[in-house]
């Protein structure tokens, strides 16, 4: 039985000329790594570009698959919980854009830094948050990553500076983190993300100027998902070549639906920064399946056909899956097993997120100041004096 | 002689007066005259030396020695890494400063005047002030935003606004407003050492004013706690509560009133947020009368807040008259000298208001 499967798989592997069959390790005869041809990046003010032949190992592939699938299912579960009114307020979903977060993380390390805007659940996960604490934050419970005090747009963990609600404000913040990296001389970089809508913000151009002037190790990443809320890029920007908008800052335009493209470009960008050359800009061409937020159905400014087309031809998870299967790097069953595990993890997390109690009222006024003695906070009326501890 | 030398090393050009005093006793405390500008400079110098994570950024702070010369000599001493000249992009560099604070540095972000902080106010409030709370204590922001605030002389409407009430409104911020050289030095050192965002409101007209600084205040570890007001003058008949430049006005008014037998207690707030209501209440419970004096506009201002707080606390029952607010005139600041002079509280306005409140 096993030898039949392995011969079928080996035959499949030989059909793809780009695959390199290495010596077998696993019982089911999988390829441990393969070389892939990826789309060449458009470059701006750069003599070199990221490699177009890249190696991905089986382990990497499985990790990327699992991570993207987890992010996908987590966002879909959030959609469900929002419609059940268990999540309230703002909820900006990331499904469709998984390759960006996973690819970026693949090109840096956890000791590097990252900051993004409000479409942040995926990044909270790749930066080290657990699904449980992310979902509990969305439902506003005490087990949330910010104890229920931040919500969808204000999640933080080590070397991840949120989660920021004001469009564009995170970009100068990210350059500030990069300044700290340079100041400390720790060879770390800071990735600052923003969208195609935010790309026109004045403060971003102010930041480009200072980052270039001071050669800050900042990787600016524009996640171009074609729409700033309901406004298409053509209607918002005089120039839609976002990778060129940094002007004197070199730029790359990257296929944001291909996790390997994103990873390679990120590695290239990180090397550029770490070698002291200053900032660099990456435009990731990507797509979100959901509307801007849960209050936007997402079909008034784009057609359902467009959404289906992207889903059918460019879905990042499908792309990775096809690559792995056709290169004998995993089996259908194995990936299905991962799906089942992911589904369970999400269900458990959702269960926790719906049953964990809300934060206690005693927490209301805490965390105003750090490292300060307790202070009194005025309540809604003069007789209500509340206590705040650091 | 030895103590004179010590003064020389500490206070630079102001040492001349110290030497001229010819102190021969080493044990006697030696006070020196220091301008507010030099006190601020000393504070930053000492804190830059003490903690290598502290750095200063802003327009003209480095090679120009500071638009108002407050950072004179610092770039020469500490170099490009610690004293950074920025382009004229407040929103950008304030955001960069906040990000640097989030990543472990301790920036001092200078606004050439606080009028320009309006360009960056989103970074001050939404990125700095609120983050510790939103992150439930995971992300602190140890930053100081400093610069001149309020009216100057002849700079007209866009360059004369007082922001004490605006910043004083927001939880997550500490807002400090020094008056004297000692205030400036002690409070700035505290602000820099504070692990939270501090808005430090200086006053351009006070920069050149010399004050006597005690021996104690000349120590490198001298700090003044944020959140505590100071009684600058004791009195029994009426309480004057004020901050920044108007402390001088109140003390001058008090001197004039004393000749008429009216003894004013003058309280220098030192901190706008958190407001030291207790000190005000203690005084009002003694004097039974309260006048607030500020440069800012009346509506929703510092004086308005003090009135409300007094009414909500025990001191209300001790008032023999409603609280009086002396404020800037509720108009954009005009240019012509006669108009400008009549747009801000003068000493005669304080005297007039005291007498009205006392019904004399």
Q: Residue B135 is nearest to which of A154, A172, A184, comparing CB atoms?
A: A154
Mutate which: B95, B122, B127, B193, vs A, most A CBs within 10 A: B95
Q: CB distance A179–B105 less than 8 Å?
A: yes
Nearest CA-CA distance, residue A225 and chain B, Å? 25
* CATH code where residue A174 lies: 3.40.50.970
User: Is A25 a domain residue?
Assistant: no
Which chain A residue has its CA at the smallest distance from B81's CA?
A183
Mutate which: B89, B92, B228, vs A, most A CBs within 10 A: B92
Which chain A residue has its CA at the smallest distance from B141's CA?
A370
The C-alpha torsion from A345 through A349 and A352 to A353, rounded to 10°, is: -170
- The answer to whether residues B272 and B167 touch, using CB atoms and an 8 Å cutoff, is yes
The C-alpha torsion from A103 through A108 and A111 to A117, rounded to 10°, is: -50
User: Is A367 a domain residue?
Assistant: no
Domain that holds residue A112: 33-351
Q: CB distance B102–A166 less than 8 Å?
A: no
Instruction: Collect all residues of chain A within an 8 Å Cβ-Cβ radius of residue B135.
Output: 146, 149-150, 154, 156, 162, 367
The H or E element that residue A254 is part of is strand A251-255
Instruction: Collect all residues of chain B within an 8 Å Cβ-Cβ radius of residue A146.
Output: 134-136, 138
Per-residue DSSP letter, A377: E
Which chain A residue has its CA at the smallest distance from B96's CA?
A176
* Burial class, A274, CB count within 10 angstroms (exposed 0-12 / middle 13-18 / buried 19+): middle
Q: Across residues B96-116, what is the average pLDDT?
A: 98
Q: Is A267 on the interface with B (CB under 8 A)?
A: no
Q: What is the pLDDT of residue A1?
A: 52
> What distance in Å separates the CA atoms of residue B74 and residue B63, rounded to the nearest whole number?
9
Q: CB distance A156–B171 less than 8 Å?
A: no
ipTM: 0.91
Q: CB distance A172–B126 less than 8 Å?
A: no
- The answer to whether residues A31 and A22 touch, using CB atoms and an 8 Å cutoff, is yes
Strand partners, A56: A34
- List B46, B90, B265, B340, catalytic entry: B90
Instruction: Collect all residues of chain B within an 8 Å Cβ-Cβ radius of residue A220.
Output: none
Mutate which: A144, A168, A367, vs B, most B CBs within 10 A: A367
SS (H, E, C) chain B: CHHHHHHHHHHHHHHHHHHHCCCCCCCCCCCEEEEHHHHHHHHHHHHHHHCCCEEEEECCCCCCCCCCCCCCCHHHHHCCCCEEECCCCHHHHHHHHHHHHHCCCEEEEECCCHHHHHHHHHHHHHHHHCHHHHCCCCCCCCCEEEEECCCCCCCCHHHCCCCHHHHHCCCCCEEECCCCHHHHHHHHHHHHHCCCCEEEEECHHHCCCEEEECCHHHCCCCCCCCCCCEEEECCCCEEEEECCCHHHHHHHHHHHHHHCCCCEEEEECCEEECCCHHHHHHHHHHHCCEEEECCCCCCCCHHHHHHHHHHHCHHHHHCCCCCEEECCCCCCCCCCHHHHHCCCCCHHHHHHHHHHHHCC
SS (H, E, C) A214-244: CCCCEEEEEEECCEECCEEHHHHCCCCCHHH
CB atoms under 10 Å from CB of A297, counted, come to 10
Q: Give the residue from A232, A235, A298 showing the smallest Cα distance to A92.
A: A298
DSSP state letters, A269-306? HHHHHHTT---EEEEEE---SS-SSTT--S-SSS-HHH
Q: Is A206 on the interface with B (CB under 8 A)?
A: yes
Mutate which: A369, A377, A382, A386, vs B, most B CBs within 10 A: A369
Q: CB distance B95–A157 less than 8 Å?
A: no
Question: Catalytic site residue B159?
Answer: yes
Given a cut of 70, whether residue B4 has pLDDT beyond it is no
Q: Give the residue from B83, B127, B85 showing the smallest Cα distance to B103.
A: B127
- The answer to whether residues A251 and A281 touch, using CB atoms and an 8 Å cutoff, is yes
Q: Give the residue from A368, A293, A335 showing the smallest Cα distance to A92.
A: A293
> What distance in Å separates the CA atoms of residue A291 and residue A308, rounded to the nearest whole number?
14
Q: Across residues B178-196, what is the average pLDDT?
A: 98
* Burial class, B30, CB count within 10 angstroms (exposed 0-12 / middle 13-18 / buried 19+): middle
Q: What is the pLDDT of residue B30?
A: 73
The H or E element that residue A387 is part of is strand A385-388
> What distance in Å separates the CA atoms of residue B78 and residue B80, rounded to the nearest whole number?
7
User: Is A71 a domain residue?
Assistant: yes
Q: Is A370 on the interface with B (CB under 8 A)?
A: yes
Instruction: Collect all residues of chain A within an 8 Å Cβ-Cβ radius of residue B81.
Output: 183
Strand partners, A35: A55
In this prediction, the residues of chain A whose per-residue pLDDT falls under 50 are: 3, 5, 8-9, 11-25, 27
User: Is A24 a domain residue?
Assistant: no
Residue pLDDT, tens place only, B317-353: 999 999 999 999 999 999 999 999 999 999 999 999 9
Instruction: Write down the residue that tokens 């800052």 correspond to.
Output: A249
Instruction: Collect all residues of chain A within an 8 Å Cβ-Cβ radius of residue B97.
Output: 176
CB atoms under 10 Å from CB of B9, counted, come to 9
Which chain B residue has its CA at the smallest distance from A381's CA?
B312
Q: What is the pLDDT of residue A376?
A: 95
CB-based burial, B73-104: b 16+ in 10 Å, e otherwise:
ebbeebeeebbbbbeebbbbbbbbbbbbbbbe
User: Is A6 a domain residue?
Assistant: no
Local confidence band at B6 (pLDDT 50, 70, 90 cut-offs): very low
Q: What is the pLDDT of residue B7?
A: 43
Q: CB distance B127–A164 less than 8 Å?
A: yes
Local structure of A385: helix, strand or coil: strand
Local structure of A351: helix, strand or coil: helix
Residue pLDDT, tens place only, B68-87: 999 999 999 999 999 999 99
Tokens found for residue A159 = 């070397």
> What distance in Å separates the CA atoms of residue B113 and residue A249, rounded to the nearest whole number?
31
- The answer to whether residues B102 and A177 touch, using CB atoms and an 8 Å cutoff, is yes
User: Is A112 a domain residue?
Assistant: yes
List C-alpha distances in Å: B244 to A47, A319, B172, B229, B350. Answer: 57, 65, 22, 12, 15
Question: Catalytic site residue B90?
Answer: yes
Nearest CA-CA distance, residue A209 and chain B, Å? 8
Residue pLDDT, tens place only, B127-153: 999 999 999 999 999 999 999 999 999
List C-alpha distances in Å: B97 to A255, B108, B153, B309. Answer: 33, 8, 30, 34
Q: CB distance B171–A368 less than 8 Å?
A: yes
Kindly report the backbone phi and psi dihedral angles of residue A53, in degrees, each rounded to the nearest multiple of 5, phi listed first. -115, 115
Q: Give the residue from B252, B194, B217 showing the smallest Cα distance to B40.
A: B217
Q: What's the whole-model pTM score?
A: 0.92
- List B23, B60, B159, B263, catalytic entry: B159
Which chain A residue has its CA at the smallest distance from B106's CA?
A180
The count of CB pairs under 8 A between chains A and B is 149
Interface of A with B in 134-173 (CB under 8 A): 146-150, 154, 156-157, 161-162, 164-166, 169, 171-173
Q: What is the pLDDT of residue B18?
A: 45
Which chain A residue has its CA at the smallest distance from B80's CA?
A214
Q: What is the pLDDT of residue A252?
A: 98
Q: CB distance B102–A171 less than 8 Å?
A: no
Instruction: Write down the residue that tokens 């996908």 correspond to.
Output: A72
- The answer to whether residues A195 and A222 touch, using CB atoms and an 8 Å cutoff, is yes
Which chain B residue has its CA at the smallest distance from A175's CA?
B96
Nearest CA-CA distance, residue B259 and chain A, Å? 40
Q: Give the residue from A77, A81, A110 showing the smallest Cα distance to A95.
A: A77
Kindly report the backbone phi and psi dihedral angles of residue A88, in degrees, each rounded to the nearest multiple of 5, phi listed first. -135, 165
Instruction: Collect all residues of chain B within an 8 Å Cβ-Cβ radius of residue A165.
Output: 126
Which chain B residue has its CA at the smallest distance from A156's CA?
B135
- The answer to whether residues B262 and B354 touch, using CB atoms and an 8 Å cutoff, is yes
Give percent above pLDDT 70 in chain B. 92
Q: Residue B103 is nearest to which of A113, A207, A366, comparing CB atoms?
A: A113
Local confidence band at B2 (pLDDT 50, 70, 90 cut-offs): very low
Output the CA angle B266-B196-A278, nearest 5 degrees. 135
Q: What's the total number of domains in chain A?
A: 1
Q: CB distance A209–B122 less than 8 Å?
A: no
The H or E element that residue A36 is part of is strand A33-37
Residue pLDDT, tens place only, A47-105: 999 999 999 999 999 999 999 999 999 999 999 999 999 999 999 999 999 999 999 99
Output the CA angle B201-B204-B206, nearest 5 degrees. 95
Nearest CA-CA distance, residue A17 and chain B, Å? 47
Alpha helices in A56-201 (DSSP H): 58-83, 98-107, 121-126, 131-138, 170-184
Which chain A residue has its CA at the smallest distance from B311's CA?
A382
User: Is A390 a domain residue?
Assistant: no
- The answer to whether residues B58 and B109 touch, using CB atoms and an 8 Å cutoff, is yes
- The answer to whether residues B80 and B108 touch, using CB atoms and an 8 Å cutoff, is no
Q: CB distance A180–B135 less than 8 Å?
A: no
Q: Is A127 on the interface with B (CB under 8 A)?
A: no
Local confidence band at B31 (pLDDT 50, 70, 90 cut-offs): confident
* Burial class, B334, CB count within 10 angstroms (exposed 0-12 / middle 13-18 / buried 19+): middle
Q: A316-326 and A98-107 helices cross at what angle (nearest 10)?
A: 60
Instruction: Collect all residues of chain A within an 8 Å Cβ-Cβ radius of residue B105.
Output: 179-180, 183
Give percent above pLDDT 90 in chain B. 91
Q: What is the pLDDT of residue A29?
A: 82
User: Is A377 a domain residue?
Assistant: no
Per-residue DSSP letter, A363: G
Nearest CA-CA distance, residue A359 and chain B, Å? 11
> What distance in Å separates the CA atoms of residue A189 and residue A180, rounded to the nearest whole number?
10
Q: CB distance A209–B92 less than 8 Å?
A: yes
């Amino acid at each position: 039985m096993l030898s039949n499967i392995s011969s079928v798989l080996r035959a499949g592997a030989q059909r793809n000329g780009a695959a390199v069959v290495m010596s077998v390790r696993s019982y089911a005869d999988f390829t441990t790594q393969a070389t892939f041809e990826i789309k060449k990046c458009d470059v701006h003010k750069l003599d070199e570009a990221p490699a177009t032949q890249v190696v991905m190992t089986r382990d990497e592939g499985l990790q990327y698959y699992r991570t993207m699938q987890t992010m996908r299912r987590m966002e879909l579960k959030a959609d469900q919980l929002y419609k059940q009114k268990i999540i309230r307020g703002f909820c900006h979903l990331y499904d469709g854009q998984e390759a960006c977060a996973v690819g970026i993380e693949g090109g840096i390390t956890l000791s590097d830094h990252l900051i993004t805007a409000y479409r942040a659940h995926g990044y909270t996960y790749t930066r080290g948050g657990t699904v449980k604490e992310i979902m509990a934050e969305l439902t506003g419970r005490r087990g949330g990553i910010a104890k229920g005090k931040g919500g969808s747009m204000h999640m933080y963990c080590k070397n991840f500076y949120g989660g920021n609600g004001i469009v564009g404000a995170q970009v100068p913040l990210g350059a500030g983190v990069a300044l700290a990296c340079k100041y400390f001389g720790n060879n770390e970089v800071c990735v600052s993300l923003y969208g195609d809508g935010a790309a026109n913000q004045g403060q971003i151009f102010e930041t480009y100027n200072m980052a270039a002037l001071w050669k800050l190790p900042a990787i600016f990443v524009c996640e171009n998902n074609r729409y700033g809320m309901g406004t298409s890029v053509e209607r918002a920007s005089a120039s839609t070549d976002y990778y060129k908008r940094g002007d004197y800052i070199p730029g790359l335009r990257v296929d944001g639906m291909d996790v390997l493209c994103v990873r390679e470009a990120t590695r290239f960008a990180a090397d550029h920064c770490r070698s002291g050359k200053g900032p660099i800009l990456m435009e990731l061409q990507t797509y979100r399946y959901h509307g801007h937020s849960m209050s936007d159905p997402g079909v008034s400014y784009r057609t359902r056909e467009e959404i289906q087309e992207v889903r059918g031809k460019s879905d990042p998870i499908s792309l990775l899956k096809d690559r792995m299967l056709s290169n004998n790097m995993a089996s259908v069953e194995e990936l299905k097993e991962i799906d089942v595990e992911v589904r369970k993890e999400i269900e458990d997390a959702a269960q926790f997120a719906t049953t964990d109690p809300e934060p206690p009222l005693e927490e209301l006024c805490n965390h105003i100041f750090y490292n300060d003695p307790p202070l009194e906070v005025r309540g809604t009326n003069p007789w209500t004096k509340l206590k705040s501890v650091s | 002689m030895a103590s004179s030398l010590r003064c020389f090393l500490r206070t630079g050009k102001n040492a001349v007066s110290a030497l001229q005093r010819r102190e021969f006793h080493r044990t006697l405390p030696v006070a020196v005259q220091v301008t507010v500008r030099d006190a601020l400079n000393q504070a930053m110098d000492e804190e830059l030396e003490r903690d290598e994570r502290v750095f200063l950024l802003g327009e003209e702070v480095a090679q120009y020695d500071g638009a108002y010369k407050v950072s004179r000599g610092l770039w020469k001493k500490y170099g490009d890494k610690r004293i950074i000249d920025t382009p004229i992009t407040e929103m950008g560099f304030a955001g960069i400063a906040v990000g640097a604070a989030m990543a472990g540095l301790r920036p001092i972000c200078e606004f050439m005047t606080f009028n320009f902080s309006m360009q960056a106010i989103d970074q001050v409030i939404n990125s700095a002030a609120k983050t510790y709370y939103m992150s439930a204590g995971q992300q602190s922001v140890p930053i100081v935003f400093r610069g001149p605030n309020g009216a100057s002389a002849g700079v007209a409407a866009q360059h004369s606004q007082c922001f004490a009430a605006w910043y004083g409104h927001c939880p997550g911020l500490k807002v400090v407003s020094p008056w004297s050289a000692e205030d400036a030095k002690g409070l700035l050192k505290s602000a820099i050492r504070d692990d939270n965002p501090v808005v430090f409101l200086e006053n351009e007209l006070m920069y050149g004013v010399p004050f006597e600084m005690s021996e104690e205040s000349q120590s490198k570890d001298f700090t003044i706690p944020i959140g505590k007001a100071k009684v600058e003058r004791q009195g029994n008949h009426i309480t004057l509560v004020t901050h920044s430049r108007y402390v001088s006005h109140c003390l001058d008014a008090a001197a004039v009133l004393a000749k008429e037998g009216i003894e004013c207690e003058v309280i220098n707030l030192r901190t706008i947020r958190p407001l030291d209501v207790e000190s005000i209440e203690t005084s009002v419970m003694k004097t039974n009368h309260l006048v607030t004096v500020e440069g800012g506009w009346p509506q929703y201002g510092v004086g308005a807040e003090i009135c409300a707080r007094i009414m909500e606390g025990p001191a209300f029952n001790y008032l023999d008259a409603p609280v009086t607010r002396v404020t800037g005139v509720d108009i954009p600041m005009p240019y012509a000298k006669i108009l400008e002079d009549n747009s801000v509280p003068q000493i005669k306005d304080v005297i007039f208001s005291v007498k009205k409140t006392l019904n004399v």
